[in-house]
Amino acid sequence: MNNTATILGELEHFINQNGLNTNQLAKRSGLNPGTMSSILNSRKVIAIDQLDRITTTMNLPEGHFYERYIEEYLNEVAPNWRRIRPFLYRCAELDKQHCIKQTVDLLMDNPLAYSPSLLEVAEDLFEQGKRMAAAILYESIALSEKSQHSERLAYCQYKLFLTRLGQDQEQNYQAAMQFEPFAERLDEIDQLDALKNLADTYRSLRRWDKVYKLSEQLKNMAKIQYSLSRSGKRSNQDPVKKLPRPIFFYVVFGSMLIGSTYYEQGNYEYALEIANEVADLDWVKETDQETLYWKNLFQEWVQANICLTKLMAGDIELLPEYVSCFEMKENEVITGLWNIMIVANRYKINVDHILIKFETVLSNVLEREENEIYNQQNTDNQLIGLLCELADYYLFRENYEQGFNALMDGLEKSTMINDESSIRQSVRLINVLKTLNLPNRK
């Protein structure tokens, strides 16, 4: 038992305890007897898939030997990337983040040799949704960069920004602030998507000064890139990187966000002016399926925005038209109802008939989940806004039970995502309730 501190020591103990020979062990493990003999005699370095098979044969948990595997087989003067690469993937599958960190630390003595390969694995893990594992790699690569103006450093910081986004609004704000100075160091194509995601994050945080600034940058840069794509000229980009969406999308999206900042400031005249400009997409010449999809979607959004802006400005007769803009689109119902409740509270109008129409949605709204974190940021924000407006609406109409329920749901959700502004609004309404002489609640 003295030699069980090593992987081979434990394996030999297992063989003796179960009365196995090399051939029997190889058969149980699904390995070639010659390979097993070489492993046991230390003539062959055990590969990670072989270690996994042996671990299963020994009835031990997956990854049981991984910490020792790093010490015994990966900790070399010149680490073997062919062994390390599959090991990193297995650690990511088993959520053994500490093993990934230990392994990557072995490589950082020679970052020039390993950073490109680590970046490739990080990108792959990121696409697979293993973002915590990818973040360890991105962070290690970023720390190894000597130049603060390195494009690879900026790119890693961008991916770290994306991995850090979550439900906690304060953490999202810190992630955005930390990445923002690096955005301009990205190449032109990556910068478009980065500016879009930064602006979208600040939008969920209601930081309209930031949204305006970034949206202007996004719009102007996207215009340049769109012109280059139409003229066939590119600035030393060969091959051209592919964006997640057509280039024209970023021009229009930037304009829409600029319009949103005017809308949120109550400057409806400017908001309408920009919305009408956005509605004209004749300058988009592409006719592929993806372009047509986004053009149609933008047209729908713009028409809804124009209707909503006029509604917010006091044109109450447009209420049925605005409801028709979102009633058949499940992913837009929360936003639509939130806007309607803002109008209802601002102009003191009765919208009970609309609330009854969407009663099922409202009853299930707290159980709604989103798969993509970027959508979830804004969905959480809109849901909390809707609940706060519902609380205001019901309390004004002395429907205290429903008002209290909406208030508590909004406070709970605000606390979950650490949204201080909404928490303060909920506390304000609670204080209003305390001043009222309400019947005892059961």
Residue entry with tokens 């209802």: 344
| Mean per-residue pLDDT, 158-182 | 93
Lowest mean pLDDT: which of 8-17, 284-293, 408-417?
408-417
Q: How far apart are CA 348 and CA 286, in angstroms?
A: 46
- Cα separations in angstroms, 157 against 84, 121, 142: 24, 16, 7
Which tokens hold the place of 431? 């204080």
Lowest mean pLDDT: which of 93-107, 235-249, 348-362?
235-249
Q: How far apart are CA 65 and CA 429, in angstroms?
A: 56
Beta strand residue intervals within 15-125, DSSP E: none
* Local structure of residue 186 (DSSP, 8 states): S
Residues above pLDDT 70, as percent of the chain = 89
| Mean per-residue pLDDT, 348-354 | 95
pLDDT digits (tens, 9 = 90+) for 372-413: 333 455 567 788 888 889 988 998 888 888 888 888 888 887
**Residue 30 has what pLDDT?**
93
For residue 431, pLDDT beyond 80 = no
Would the pTM of this model clear 0.85, i.e. be above it?
no
Count the residues in the chain.
442
Split at pLDDT 50, 70, 90, the class of 359 is confident
- Cα separations in angstroms, 244 against 18, 190, 197, 290: 56, 10, 12, 11
Q: How far apart are CA 393 and CA 344, in angstroms?
A: 7
For residue 230, pLDDT beyond 90 = no
* Local structure of residue 235 (DSSP, 8 states): S
**Residue 419 has what pLDDT?**
67
**Residue 4 has what pLDDT?**
53
Q: Are the beta carbons of 227 and 219 closer than 8 angstroms?
A: no
Task: Tell me how far apart the terminal alpha carbons of the chain are, to the nearest angstrom.
Answer: 66
